């Protein structure tokens, strides 16, 4: 499978615990996005990387959230001191961006479903 | 502010009937508009985008800048069209992050 992969697919944790999710983008893609989706809503943007640089973070992303893409390939999203409100599907997407190229097809992974008890 | 509104959470039509999923947006500038679809137990995938002006699986969508709309249409619905549909926008340059609507669940009845 050459698509975007995410691990784990499901995570159940207790309030206050830390969790980390991983995303492996399509290999030649230089941009990687994280979104969060709660029940009955569309995905909401959290942050994105171009290569290893984190270029934007949403105001939705509290200080408890941190994302990295250390070598410009896979990315991790960590949530510290989880709260019940963090329960959601966390989606990763990747795309190939080139200046002046206006196409922007983002390819999504299957998501990681987080449940905080 | 960037916003996408899909006024219908649920839409149910009979097989063979026309389908229209509504999408309105607000954006200061010229956005790029998309329709993404999520079939049962599958990941979110791009259905079509306004700049390509394609018809995918019989679906079309026309960007109406005057009405700030990007409605998705299909003249004859098929059962396999049952899915969750999301309208989304992004800027033409820069971050190109996607702003999604809340989605419309389309059910095609036999």
How high is the pLDDT of residue B99? 94
- Residue tagged 């966390």 (tokens): A90
Rounded mean pLDDT, A38-64: 93
Number of Cβ atoms within 10 Å of the Cβ of A45: 22
The tens digit of pLDDT for each residue in B53-74 reads 788 899 999 899 899 999 999 9
Give contacts of A4 with chain B, Cβ < 8 Å. Answer: 43
Residue A104 is given by DSSP the state: -
Give chain A's contact residues with B (Cβ, < 8 Å): 3-4, 31, 33, 35, 40-45, 48, 55-56, 91, 93, 95, 97, 102-111
**How confident is the model over B85-100, as pLDDT tens digits?**
999 998 866 668 999 9
Chain B partners of A111 at a C-beta cutoff of 8 Å?
Answer: 43
Residue A103's pLDDT is 63
Looking at CA atoms only, how far is residue A15 from chain B in angstroms? Answer: 27
To probe the interface with B, which of A104, A108, A112 has the most B CB atoms within 10 Å? A104
pLDDT band, residue B9 (cuts 50/70/90)? very high
Count residue pairs from A and B with Cβ separation < 8 A. Answer: 56
User: Which of A33, A91, A102 lies closest to B92 in CB terms?
Assistant: A102
Question: Mean pLDDT across the stretch B4-26?
Answer: 97
Q: Considering chain A, what percentage of its residues have pLDDT values greater than 70?
A: 94
Q: What pLDDT is stored for residue B18 in this prediction? A: 97
The predicted structure's pLDDT at residue B50: 85
A72-108, pLDDT tens digit by residue?
Answer: 899 999 999 999 999 999 999 999 887 666 566 899 9
In this predicted structure, what is the pLDDT of residue B53?
A: 76
Note whether A76 and A21 are within 8 A (CB). Answer: yes
CB contacts of A56 in chain B (<8 Å) are 95, 97
Residue B44 distance to chain A (closest CA, Å): 6
Predicted confidence (pLDDT) per residue in A27-36, tens digit = 989 999 999 9
Looking only at the bridges linking them, the beta strands covering A31-37 and B104-109 are unpaired
Instruction: For chain A, give the mean pLDDT.
Output: 93
For residue A32, give every residue at least 6 positions away whose Cβ sits within 8 Å of its Cβ, in sequence order, or none. A23, A25, A48, A49, A69, A75, A92, A93, A94
Q: Above 60 in pLDDT, residue A1? A: no
Q: Which pLDDT score is estimated for A5?
A: 97
């Amino acid at each position: 499978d050459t698509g975007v992969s995410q691990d784990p697919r499901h995570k159940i944790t207790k309030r206050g615990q830390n969790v980390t999710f991983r995303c492996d983008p399509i290999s030649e893609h230089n941009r990687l996005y994280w979104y969060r989706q709660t029940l009955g809503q569309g995905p909401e943007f959290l942050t994105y990387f171009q290569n290893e640089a984190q270029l934007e973070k949403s105001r939705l992303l509290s200080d408890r959230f941190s994302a990295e893409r250390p070598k410009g390939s896979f990315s991790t999203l960590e949530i510290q001191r989880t709260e019940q409100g963090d329960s959601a599907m966390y989606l990763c997407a990747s795309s190939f961006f080139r200046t002046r190229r206006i196409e922007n097809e983002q390819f999504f992974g299957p998501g990681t479903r987080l449940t905080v008890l | 502010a960037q916003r996408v509104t899909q006024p219908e959470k649920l839409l149910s039509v009979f097989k063979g009937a026309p389908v229209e999923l509504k999408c309105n947006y607000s954006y200061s500038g010229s956005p790029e508009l998309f329709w993404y679809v999520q079939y049962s137990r599958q990941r979110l995938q791009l259905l079509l985008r306004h700049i390509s002006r394609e018809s995918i699986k019989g679906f079309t969508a026309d960007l109406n800048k005057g009405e700030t709309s990007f409605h998705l249409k299909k003249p004859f619905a098929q059962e396999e069209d049952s899915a969750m549909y999301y309208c989304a926008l992004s800027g033409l340059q820069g971050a190109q992050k996607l702003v999604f609507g809340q989605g419309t669940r389309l059910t095609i009845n036999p």
